[in-house]
Amino acid sequence: MLQRLSVALHRCRASSLGLVRWVSSGSVNISEQLNFWAGERRSSTQKSNVENVYEPATGRVLCQLHECGPEDVNEAVNNAKSAFNCWSKMSGLERARILIEAAHIIENRREEIAQMEVVNNGKSITEARLDVDSARLCIEYYAGLASTLSGQHVQLPGGSFAYTRREPLGVCAGIGAWNYPFQIAAWKSAPALACGNAMIFKPSPVTPVTAVLLAEIYAQAGAPQGLFNIVQGGQETGRLLCQHSDIAKVSFTGSVPTGKKIMEMASQGVKPVTLELGGKSPLLIFNDCGLENAVRGALMANFLSQGQVCSNGTRVFVHKDILPEFVEEVVKRTKLIEIGDPLLETTRMGALVNRPHLNKVLSYVNQAKKEGANVLCGGEVFVPSDPKLKDGYYMTPCVLGICTDEMTCVKEEIFGPVMSVLSFETEEEVLHRANDTNLGLAAGVFTRDVRRAHRIVEHLKAGSCFINNYNITPVEVPFGGFKMSGIGRENGQVTIEYYSQLKTVFVEMGDVDSLF
């Protein structure tokens, strides 16, 4: 998920000229604790639940994850409660100063954080830098909003009046996904902290390494001890957070099945939730499009972060009149995508996140073949020439042709570098097919006809829509889905409403008018 790409890539190229390589693939061993509360890294009291964490680029063990249990979660929550009592009493301007300082620290440590994100996740260094930029911009944006939070004055008869106060919720829980570990931690924490809340964040156990860097940065910036805490673990740790009586709200990014479970657990305490879940998004390409931009958009809609993006437009509907030309160009450019060591500047596609996920994505390609799809390119295991990368989780990006709406590859979220191309003839037909899904995270349309573009977007059942571009997510703009793709929004001014609550106060200036 990207800011304006041309500006960001220009900055990447300019800044990369004098970069210091902090790490190289296969060289990192992490022995530090990955939990954080009470202002420092902490060890878990749970000694039995230990899992290996792997480096996607090499397949080697990167570190071990010690799951947090009830005692750890309680300690983190108590620390967060203490910090909340202090933080919530600060003015918005005071909170903004600390958030701005955190953003400055992120900017100064940009390359270090980006390289650790590559080791953590497997995506290319170019994309990781953009993710760090998005995290910083998000914190800067909500720092700007922190001092603008306000209520409303309502004049009533007889000189009486009412007013509203926008107040923080308390201690919020954030549960992250493995595809954007550092960025998601910032996207959830920035609006929460700007509103005066504290937060406990649980990263994905697959990518636990970089969220703790953000916790250290907030602490270094001057945040009260315990304001942003990290607890590591899997489902059980997540359950402890969702069901904890002192957690006021849960924000989750991940799969639909897990989102349903979190919603159910949170409902036991009648807690508000924000859910950013899966997608199977359509990309509609009409015969009057600018073909060059449409091809670029389709590649951006499918192959960012090795295709591991919830908003990806993986159902690419192409008008039959331009289908052969479009497919030829997409396949040609897909074959040219540089795969390999994600820490190299020339790499454009790194490793998938782990071995089970790689096998799952490859199984979808095999299933597509059985169901009649034509593999136009890719869809195979890729072994880089560098010997240290031979056990990494790489595959060639795949384009599937002759796809139909009933195929598994078209109906189910693959979450990998697999594009399904479908043909259409009329606007009415493609709209019906595009909306024929229980998901509705994103959608896009390429056309030169402005009236058609807005007409299409009006009828697309998706929360985030793109006209003549795709997967651009500036932090000023709300992001979220319709239907089973989620509840609530991240980013934009509206997110303030999801991390605060409204209190109404009535003030009587006369005598009580009583019926008794």
Rg, the chain, Cα only: 24
- Residue 292 appears among annotated catalytic residues: no
Residue type for position 225: Q
Residue type for position 312: N
Report long-range pairs for 146-152 (Cβ below 8 Å, ≥24 apart): 146/92, 146/93, 146/95, 146/96, 146/99, 146/194, 146/195, 147/91, 147/92, 147/93, 147/96, 148/92, 149/92, 149/194, 149/195, 149/496, 149/500, 151/502
Backbone dihedral angles phi then psi of residue 65, each to the nearest 5 degrees: -105, 125
Q: How many CB atoms lie within 10 A of CB 46?
A: 18
- Our CA dihedral for 462, 467, 470, 471, rounded to 10 degrees, sits at -50
Helix (H, G, I), strand (E, B) or coil at 248: strand
Helix (H, G, I), strand (E, B) or coil at 69: coil
Write the CB contacts of 27 (distance below 8 Å, at least 6 apart in sequence): none
CA angle (230, 186, 23) in 5-degree steps:
80
306 is written with which tokens? 């090795």
Catalytic position from the list 276, 329, 413, 427: 276
- β-partners of residue 497 are none
Residue type for position 174: G
CA angle (455, 457, 462) in 5-degree steps:
150
Question: Which of the 8 DSSP states describes residue 179?
Answer: S
Q: Mind giving me the DSSP string for 334-360?
A: HHT--BS-TTSTT-SB---S-HHHHHH
Residues tagged active-site: 276
